[in-house]
């Protein structure tokens, strides 16, 4: 089956391969043969592992995506990180965020998590990163969490707010921004 799948994929152009894998991912939710074909690709070379990851757009297989973030191939890792917000549960997403932080590539993943409404996972990440000293852009990401997360980390963010912090706070938590501004106006009187 894997050789058959690879032969079919090699006969297609890139967009066709991607669409085939997404469809195979959807079928894998209820078809054991489709799941076995993807599992077999996942054990292949970097090209095959990338193809297996494309299937996650159809299956939302968080475990496969999470494994992909630790792959030896940078192409596999890059695709896996783009899939994290869509496929991974909160704990898998937190692990991927921590790994991205260690690799200094967390910005794109944080913004993608926010775009997909993964605020609970972002709160856990903010809690984790808040314990690390010297994170110069910490304030920039505080407004991307839930309101409870923003409030939890607001004092530290206000120690060194940036223009990005204020813009994101205005967009994501305007009520909290209003409270800050009112408090500062009252302090001037």
Inter-residue contact 112 to 85 (CB < 8 Å): yes
Q: What is the pLDDT of residue 2?
A: 54
Give the 3-state secondary structure of the chain. CHHHHHHHHHCCCHHHHHHHHHHHHHHHCCCHHHHHHHHHHHCCCHHHHHHHHHCHHHHCCHHHHHHHCCCCCHHHHHHHHHHHHHHCCHHHHHHHHHHHHHCCCHHHHHHHHHHCCCHHHHHHHHHHHHCCCCCCCHHHHHHHCCHHHHHHHHHHHHHCCCHHHHHHHHHHCHHHHHHHHHHHHHHHC
d(C-alpha 176, C-alpha 167), whole Å: 12
Inter-residue contact 51 to 68 (CB < 8 Å): no
Mean pLDDT of 122-126: 97
The answer to whether residue 3 scores a pLDDT higher than 80 is no
Q: pTM for this structure? A: 0.88
The answer to whether residue 155 scores a pLDDT higher than 60 is yes
Nearest to 84 by CA among 72, 71, 94: 94
d(C-alpha 59, C-alpha 42), whole Å: 14
Phi, psi of 11 (to 5 degrees): -85, -10
Q: What percent of the chain has pLDDT over 70?
A: 98
What would the pLDDT profile of 49-64 be if each residue is shown by its tens digit?
Answer: 999 999 999 999 999 9
The answer to whether residue 139 scores a pLDDT higher than 60 is yes
pLDDT band of 11, cuts 50, 70, 90: confident
């Amino acid at each position: 089956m894997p050789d058959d799948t690879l032969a079919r994929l090699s006969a297609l152009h890139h967009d066709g391969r991607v669409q085939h894998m997404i469809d195979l991912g959807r079928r894998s939710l209820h078809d054991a043969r489709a799941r076995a074909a993807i599992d077999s690709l996942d054990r292949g070379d970097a090209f095959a592992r990338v193809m297996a990851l494309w299937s996650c757009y159809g299956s939302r297989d968080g475990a496969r995506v999470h494994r992909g973030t630790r792959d030896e191939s940078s192409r596999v890792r890059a695709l896996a990180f783009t899939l994290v917000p869509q496929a991974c549960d909160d704990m898998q997403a937190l692990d991927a965020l921590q790994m991205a932080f260690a690799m200094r590539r967390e910005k794109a993943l944080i913004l993608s998590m926010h775009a997909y409404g993964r605020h609970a996972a972002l709160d856990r990440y903010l809690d984790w990163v808040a314990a690390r000293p010297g994170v110069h852009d910490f304030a920039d990401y505080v407004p991307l969490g839930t309101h409870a997360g923003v409030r939890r980390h607001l004092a530290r963010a206000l120690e060194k707010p940036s223009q990005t912090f204020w813009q994101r706070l205005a967009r994501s938590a305007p009520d909290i921004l209003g409270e800050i501004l009112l408090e500062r106006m009252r302090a001037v009187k």
